[in-house]
């Protein structure tokens, strides 16, 4: 029976049944978790906004630089 379930909709690891992962878009995930559509216009709340440009990050992540102390 567990072999049948693993083929149908999930995987069976060490006797535990794990459901198959569902791939969702960002919009679907936001609606599911918050209940709000992130693409709705904030002014009227009825029309969907369109992505016209993706802005690059301001800067990269900080880099740890190791400076060896100079012996005296």
Tell whether 4 is covered by a domain.
Answer: no
Residue 1 has a pLDDT of 47
Tell whether 61 is covered by a domain.
Answer: no
**pLDDT, tens only, 7-28:** 555 555 566 777 888 888 988 9
Residue 29, token pair as written in the block: 């995930």
Average pLDDT, the chain: 77
Structural domain boundaries, residue 46: 21-50
CB proximity list for 6: less than 8 A, separation 6 or greater = 12
Structural domain total, the chain: 1
Residue 35 has a pLDDT of 92
The overall pTM is greater than 0.85: no
Tell whether 1 is covered by a domain.
Answer: no
Say whether pLDDT at 62 is over 90.
Answer: no
Say whether pLDDT at 58 is over 50.
Answer: yes
45: three-class secondary structure by DSSP: coil
Tell whether 34 is covered by a domain.
Answer: yes
């Amino acid at each position: 029976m567990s072999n049948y379930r693993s083929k149908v909709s999930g995987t069976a690891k060490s006797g535990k049944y794990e459901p198959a992962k569902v791939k969702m878009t960002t919009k679907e995930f936001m609606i599911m978790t918050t209940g709000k559509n992130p693409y709705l216009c904030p002014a009227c709340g009825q029309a969907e906004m369109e992505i016209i440009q993706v802005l690059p990050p301001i800067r990269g992540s900080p880099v740890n630089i190791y400076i060896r102390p100079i012996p005296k």
